[in-house]
Structure 1
Amino acid sequence: MKKVTVLVALAMSMIDTAIVNAQSKQKSQNQYSLVYDGAINENKAGQVNIHPVSYELNANTISANVYTPANYDASKSYPAIVVAHPNGGVKEQTAGLYAQQLAEAGYITLVADASYQGASGGLPRHTDNPAFRTEDIRGMADFISTYKGFDKNRMGVLGICGGGGYTLKAAQSDKRLKAVATLSMFNSGEVRRNGFQNSQLNTIQERLQQASDARKEEVENGNILFSGVASVTDEEIAQTTTDLYREGLVYYYRTHKHPNSTFLYTTSSLLDLMTWDAAANMDLINQPLLMIAGSRADTKYMTDEAFPKAVNAKSKELFLVDGATHIETYWKPEYVSQIVDKLISFYQTNL
């Protein structure tokens, strides 16, 4: 895997080239640029429909998709689910897949690109700030609460990967979220601080210094530094030892590539990420809680750490998808069907 910290001009040049190439291909495949199997390509009467929307949140324009159930009637009353996408992901990938399938079960669903990411506004691009990501979920709740046909007392939330960690945080304070579910939860703060599987405990102070230096560079010289992965070769993918990152590189850069999706994040984001933890204050969650993880996922330890701390949840369940890795829960049909069935049962019981 190629680890990079680059100046904005170089990073943007590489990204722009990839975007131009990928956009041409995407437009020929799906008019909504959806990249998951079974995606809607046109709205048809009597079926689940997709509605691209935008709204303002803290001076940023948020790009989102609303999915409405088959035979949707705005004069009727429907429960709604807001879906938070993974780190590096966008609304057209796995978050859209789950939003569409939940809409097929009768829910109005909303999935939005995070502020500073995807097709949403905000500078500098690729900022990954936990407070912003948590506010994005509240912003989705704001938007869907005014959507015609939504029953204001029946809003649930689903967070996937990093979106799962931010969902836990949003649910601690926002009680409009009546039923809380996470899938393959990724605790972004813990991983950026300690390293994946606690592999960087000895370099915490060094990396905090790098983040501080990056902030200084932004202020003094106007240069935005990036961390993460800008591009990757097949050989580098094959040499990646962890399932999460190896399979994630395949998903995001090969099989489910989208021009707005990237593994880059601003290095200065680490100032906020490394001092944040998704599993802190879990006792504030008093809503029903469902946490889902693959039994073979090398990220499962994060769900295992957070779940017991939800001591005040109205009800809680840890559901393991037998045989699944983290990334396989994003797309593999036999796992997705199990997960969707579990989510539907959970939301039907609690909304």
Structure 2
Amino acid sequence: MPHAGARRISASTQTRSHGMQSITFRSGPFTLAGNLHLPSDFSGNRPYAAVVVVHPGGGVKEQTSGLYAAKLALDGFVALAYDASYQGDSSGEPRHLEDPSARVEDIRAAVDHLTTLPFVQRERIGVLGICAGGGYAIHAAMTDSRLKAVGAVSAVNIGAMIRQGWDGSTAPAQTLGLRDAGSARRTAEHGGEAITYMPLAPTHRDPSLPADLRDAYDYYHTARAQHRNSPSKTPLRSLSQLVGYDAFHLAELLMTQPLRLFAGSKAGSLWHSQQVFERAASGNKQLHIVEGANHIDLYDGSRYVSEVLAKLVPFFREQL
């Protein structure tokens, strides 16, 4: 039998806000494609709080980030979900590159764009990230005080995941091999070889995998949430940028904004949320454990998403 909360919110039939505008904005040399979700009572003459919503590694705006953006718009927020540099409908080569510095800059650029909108109040902008997007959201907030409140769902510090594995048990010595593999691919591809890709989600449903990873295959590679722009892979050369990255670096000093973390009790990634909760300097921080949920359940599990929103929406209303 499906476990409790197994009913999914379809990526193709997301609950939508009153209106959604397809937009573009600049992030350094890149043009980013976004969906701006508007509240049902939207009026260009009224001021609104806004939330930047950041997708997982390998994801796109039409998946879980778009779902959360649409839900937030239904609760009165302007919400911007967008494709990261190199990914989705946004520009950048090589395609699907996962570059942490670009990912964090994309969030700052999204804030830049929101500050130009006459109906967004500049002092009422927050950020919500899912999976690696949660780590990037936290990192961006540490270096951009325009973000007044931070939410993270199934947060992952993607650099730590690369170094330590999904459950945090990978031996440090293996990290050096990953570094060397990324370096070698840069040389090979600069010399004319074809790009080599590595998967960000499993490419087949292996029963021996943890439930998180079996669900990751289902999410990205079946009708559950697959999208033509989301093959859930990245150039192997991305390892050069990922292996030394720490999304939570200096959290003890710089993560000062109000922070709400949400993670499943059965998630192999729970340790990321626990770690940043302990490290964050914020005097207003909470980690909400969603009982019975794994990592991917918080992407689209109807009951689980509702539980997150029941805590997240009042938080953003109070802080924004």
TM-score (norm. length: structure 2): 0.92
Matches within 5 A, 1:269-280: 269-280=238-249
Residue number among 103, 109, 112 corresponding to 2:79 in the alignment: 109
C-alpha distance in 2, partners of 1:208/1:167? 25
C-alpha distance in 2, partners of 1:119/1:244? 27
Specify the alignment match of 2:294 in structure 1: 325
**Letter of the 2:290 counterpart:** V
Specify the alignment match of 2:41 in structure 1: 71
| Alpha-carbon spacing, 1:231–1:183, altered in 2? closer, same or farther (3 Å) | closer
Q: Does 1:237 align with 2:208?
A: no
Aligned-partner SS, 2:215: helix
C-alpha distance in 2, partners of 1:287/1:98? 21
Specify the alignment match of 2:54 in structure 1: 84
1:66-86 Cα shifts (integer Å, max 9, x gaps): 001012111111000000001
**Letter of the 2:153 counterpart:** L
Shift of 1:294: 1.0
C-alpha distance in 2, partners of 1:315/1:36? 36
**Letter of the 1:266 counterpart:** P
Range with bigger deviation, 109-118 or 189-198: 189-198
Shift of 1:179: 0.4
Specify the alignment match of 2:215 in structure 1: 247
Shift of 1:259: 0.4
Aligned-partner SS, 1:221: coil
Residue number among 215, 226, 236 corresponding to 1:267 in the alignment: 236
Residue number among 285, 291, 306 corresponding to 1:316 in the alignment: 285
Residue number among 209, 220, 225 corresponding to 2:191 in the alignment: 220
Shift of 1:225: 1.9
| Alpha-carbon spacing, 1:55–1:94, altered in 2? closer, same or farther (3 Å) | same
**Letter of the 1:35 counterpart:** A
Shift of 1:231: 8.0
Specify the alignment match of 1:4 in structure 2: none
1:262-307 Cα shifts (integer Å, max 9, x gaps): 2211111111111011222112011111111111111101111111
Shift of 1:199: 4.0
Specify the alignment match of 2:270 in structure 1: 300
Aligned-partner SS, 1:95: helix
TM-score (norm. length: structure 1): 0.84
Q: How many residues align?
A: 308
C-alpha distance in 2, partners of 1:313/1:231? 35
C-alpha distance in 1, partners of 2:265/2:164? 23
| Alpha-carbon spacing, 1:118–1:35, altered in 2? closer, same or farther (3 Å) | same
Could you list the runs of 5+ residues in structure 1 that have no partner in the other structure?
Answer: 1-33, 41-46
**Letter of the 1:269 counterpart:** S
| Alpha-carbon spacing, 1:123–1:240, altered in 2? closer, same or farther (3 Å) | farther
**Residue 36 of structure 1 contacts residue 97 of structure 1 at CA under 8 Å; is this kept in 2?**
no
**Residue 36 of structure 1 contacts residue 331 of structure 1 at CA under 8 Å; is this kept in 2?**
no
Larger Rg: 1
**Residue 202 of structure 2 contacts residue 216 of structure 2 at CA under 8 Å; is this kept in 1?**
no
Quote the sequence identity (%).
35
Shift of 1:261: 0.6
**Residue 48 of structure 1 contacts residue 100 of structure 1 at CA under 8 Å; is this kept in 2?**
no
